[in-house]
Amino acid sequence: MDDPLTLLLMCAVIAAASVFRGFTGFGFAITAVPLLSLVMPPQGAVAVSAVMQALGGLIDFPTARRGCHWPSVRSLAIGAVLTSVPGALLLTLMSADVARLLVASVCALAVASLAAGLAFRRVPDLGGTILTGAAAGLFSGMAAMPGPPVITFYLASPLPTAQVRASMSVFFMFAAAVSCLGLGTAGALGWGEMRLALLGTPIMLAGTLLGAWLFRHLGGAHRRVSLAALALVAVTTAAKGLTGLFGG
């Protein structure tokens, strides 16, 4: 990963994903993993993204913890703990192109979930919340992307927007930390991935600040931009995976 062009492309991906995270309140991994997997092995993309998401969450935590909905965050966390390590083990068994197609499918699922406009009259009960967390943990282990089920859960809930954003921030920090443990256990997180994540962290912080500024000025467009960006990532990554599997 010392090739200058590859490093430049990685920095560009991290910057774009960070702006997206700051603008939407979620979505660093769901944007970074598919795009990073175009210039590095998917396992490495997952590991780098997980470390960066955990570091970014720690920085955001002092503010987010005051506004988050702790009952749902705790229940989601229980579910995620149960499935994150099995998900990381599955990651090590996949070929690079199969992993790319899985990542693209997860992005497409996120687009469909957000576009469907589901709405709960109240926050789901304990069992439903834990099951949502279990799905998130599986995605987190396999692709450092716990987002699709959790984003759907919170955007469909009746909670205030500020509380939704804070809750997702806290949960994704926790999920990323668990994912890092699972990836380390599975042998998919080493010093090389840690070094890349640490190098990219300042870019992530700057991009997040820029994204937050954009949200304050263009907040009305935030849902449309989110769906368009995720759809583009899904199509691009699926094309890369299909090309690798079938040639052409």
| Stretch 80-102: mean pLDDT | 81
Pull the structure tokens for residue 187. Answer: 């042998």
Q: Range of 230's domain?
A: 4-246
Backbone angles phi, psi at 186, to 5 degrees: -80, 0
> What is the number of alpha carbons within 13 Å of residue 216 lying toward its C-beta?
6
Question: In this structure, what token pair is assigned to residue 94?
Answer: 């996949």
The structure tokens 């702006």 sit at 19
The pLDDT-based confidence of 15 (bands split at 50, 70, 90) is: very high
Q: Which pTM was predicted?
A: 0.79
pLDDT at 35: 85
148 vs 207, higher pLDDT: 207
How far is it, in rounded angstroms, from Cα 189 to Cα 178?
A: 12
CA-closest candidate to residue 148, choices 177, 175, 126: 175
Tens of pLDDT, residue by residue over 116-138, are: 777 788 999 999 999 999 988 88
C-beta atoms surrounding 44 within 10 Å: 20
Total number of domains constituting the chain: 1
CA proximity to 193, closest of 84, 9, 51: 51
pLDDT tens track for 192-238: 889 999 999 999 999 989 988 888 887 667 667 777 877 887 888 78
